[in-house]
């Protein structure tokens, strides 16, 4: 049985009361519940139909500056009491941590807007299967060179999140997320290539039409047929919009408070430094209606707000929760649980204009491997894409490695394209970087 927001709030309130009864000076708890449907079809046949239902609760108690945490998936009254007791036992046997504690009560959200995050989709499995089949069929019919499929998947999920603490905060909100994806393979002679596309939204009616997603996956796969290798060289590189978010995520990882106080970041102690060209602005807006990462408060109940991390190329703020802020002698930025709706502003050009501006270089459309060192910033990843001459794509390339250092990549960012209509919670256009090493033959 799915629990309502009100029922989840009752569980959290009971849990906080139990923590107080057991002598805790402070406590906080978060509970989530979700249910959904996922179907996968391959070559027109149903491969999987999955219904899922998940729930979980975590509680943290404080005895002075001693902290204990426990989790459970059983939300019965007896299980909640046992979970609180476990957390209290842990706290009584841990060392004091001067930064352990709840968020500043003055920063907690008290009133918040309805962000329109809840749009249930009453979808029967047969209807989900039909939509996935329509998506895959469009891909398979796109071009005779599309010869196989890894399938199309449709998933819909409805959930609720509630957080409360002993400062008197108690709040929650329901959410939905719906997605449709397709993966196909193309063949031409001895060349075989695989590619994919997808869309994801809070409201089902905003999803791209299934045939559009299928055709986009097929188009991408066909474009890669006949890929060649490159010789080793240095050249400008464009990270296409669908792979560029990784560069932003590496930045956020480096400016997280936890990476800073642990001294495990290539951007250690860079607050106030010029990291990007002056035109660059990187920011978050957690309050976008229907945003995929929108939230009125963070995982500590702190009110979220739009804010710049990079302004005019300068690092203006780390990404902080209450604990990391305390360790650094700063104030939380409301980012317990992560950054929400991250974006980098475009400075104008379309992807075609970026290609013309680059003139000769590499357009990266796929990245492979985990070759990013968060401590040194060294960047080396397998890649595939297209070689460009005189601003025009000439042929696809594969089995190459692109390498550099993230500090240099950020400093040498020439332009961000206006082609930022990509699915997901990170908004960015394609990145043109002045120069990187391309390792090939």
Using one digit for the tens of pLDDT, what is the confidence trace for 221-275? Answer: 999 999 999 999 999 999 999 999 999 999 999 999 999 999 999 999 999 999 9
> How many percent of the chain have pLDDT more than 90?
96
Helix (H, G, I), strand (E, B) or coil at 7: helix
- pLDDT of 370: 84
Asked if residue 308 has pLDDT above 60, the reply is yes
* 248 in Cβ contact with 428 (< 8 Å): yes
Asked if residue 2 has pLDDT above 80, the reply is no
Can you spell out the DSSP letters for 231-287? -SEEEEEEE-TTTTHHHHHHHHHHHBHHHHHTT--TTTT-TT-B-S-TT--EEE-TT
Angle between helices 77-92 and 5-21 (to 10 degrees): 40
Q: Which residue has the tokens 């990270």?
A: 239
Torsions phi, psi for 18 (to 5 deg): -65, -40
* 42 in Cβ contact with 214 (< 8 Å): no
Asked if residue 1 has pLDDT above 80, the reply is no
- pLDDT of 123: 93
Can you spell out the DSSP letters for 148-209? EEEEEEEEEEEEEEEEEETTS-EEEEEEEEEEEEEEEEEEETTEEEEEEEEEEESSGGGSPP
- pLDDT of 304: 98
Q: What are 367's strand-pairing partners?
A: 383
Using one digit for the tens of pLDDT, what is the confidence trace for 139-173? Answer: 999 999 999 999 999 999 999 999 999 999 999 99
CA nearest neighbour of 322 among 1, 103, 108: 103
Domains in the chain, CATH or no CATH each:
5-37+47-105 (3.30.2290.10), 125-223 (3.30.2290.10), 227-441 (no CATH)
* 383 in Cβ contact with 399 (< 8 Å): no
Q: Which band of pLDDT confidence, cut at 50, 70 and 90, is reported for residue 441?
A: confident
Q: Which band of pLDDT confidence, cut at 50, 70 and 90, is reported for residue 369?
A: confident
Q: Mean pLDDT, to the nearest integer, of 121-126?
A: 95
Q: Mean pLDDT, to the nearest integer, of 181-195?
A: 94
Q: What are 413's strand-pairing partners?
A: 433
Using one digit for the tens of pLDDT, what is the confidence trace for 377-409? Answer: 999 999 999 999 999 999 999 999 999 999 999
Give me the chain's average pLDDT, please. 96
Per-position b or e across 107-124, b if 16+ CB within 10 A of its CB? bbbeeeeebebbbebebe
> How many percent of the chain have pLDDT more than 70?
100
The model's pTM: 0.94
Asked if residue 3 has pLDDT above 80, the reply is no
CA distance 275 to 310: 8
Residue 27 vs residues 9, 105, 106, 169: alpha-carbon distances, Å: 15, 13, 17, 11
């Amino acid at each position: 049985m799915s629990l309502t927001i009100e029922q989840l709030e009752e569980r959290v309130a009971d849990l906080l009361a139990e923590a107080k009864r057991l002598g805790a000076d402070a406590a906080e708890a978060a509970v989530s519940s979700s249910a959904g449907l996922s179907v996968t079809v391959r070559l027109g046949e149903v491969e999987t139909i999955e219904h899922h239902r998940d729930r979980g609760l975590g509680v943290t108690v404080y005895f002075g500056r001693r902290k204990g945490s426990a989790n459970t998936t059983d939300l019965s009254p007896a299980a909640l009491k046992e979970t609180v007791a476990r957390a209290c036992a842990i706290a009584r046997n841990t060392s004091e941590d001067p930064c352990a504690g709840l968020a500043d009560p003055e920063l907690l959200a008290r009133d918040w807007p309805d962000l329109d995050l809840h749009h249930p989709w009453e979808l029967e499995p047969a209807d989900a299967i039909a939509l996935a089949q329509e998506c895959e069929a469009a891909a398979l019919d796109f071009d005779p060179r599309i010869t196989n499929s890894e399938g199309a998947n449709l998933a819909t999920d409805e959930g609720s999140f509630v957080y409360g603490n002993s400062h008197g905060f108690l709040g929650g909100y329901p959410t939905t997320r719906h997605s449709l994806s397709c993966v196909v393979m193309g063949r031409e002679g001895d060349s075989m290539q695989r590619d994919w596309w997808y869309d994801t939204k809070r409201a089902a009616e905003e999803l791209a039409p299934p045939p559009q997603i299928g055709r986009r996956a097929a188009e991408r796969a066909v474009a890669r047929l006949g890929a060649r290798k490159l010789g080793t060289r240095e050249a400008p590189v464009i990270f296409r919009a669908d792979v560029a978010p990784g560069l932003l995520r590496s930045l956020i990882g480096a400016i997280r408070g936890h990476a800073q106080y642990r001294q495990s970041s290539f951007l250690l102690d860079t607050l106030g430094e010029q990291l990007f060209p002056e035109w660059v602005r990187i920011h978050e807006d957690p309050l976008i209606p229907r945003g995929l990462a929108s939230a009125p408060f963070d995982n500590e109940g702190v009110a979220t707000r739009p804010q710049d991390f990079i302004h005019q190329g300068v690092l203006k703020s780390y990404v902080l929760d209450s604990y990391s802020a305390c360790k650094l002698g700063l104030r939380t930025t409301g980012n317990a649980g992560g950054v929400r709706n991250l974006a980098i502003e475009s400075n104008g050009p379309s992807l075609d204009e970026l290609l013309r501006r680059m003139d000769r270089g590499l357009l990266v459309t796929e990245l492979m491997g985990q070759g990013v060192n968060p401590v040194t910033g060294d960047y080396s990843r397998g890649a595939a894409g297209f070689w460009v001459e005189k601003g025009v794509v000439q042929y696809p390339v594969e089995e190459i490695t692109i390498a550099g250092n993230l500090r240099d990549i950020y400093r040498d960012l020439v332009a961000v394209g206006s082609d930022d209509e990509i699915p997901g919670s990170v908004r960015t256009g394609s990145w043109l970087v002045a120069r990187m090493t391309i390792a090939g033959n």
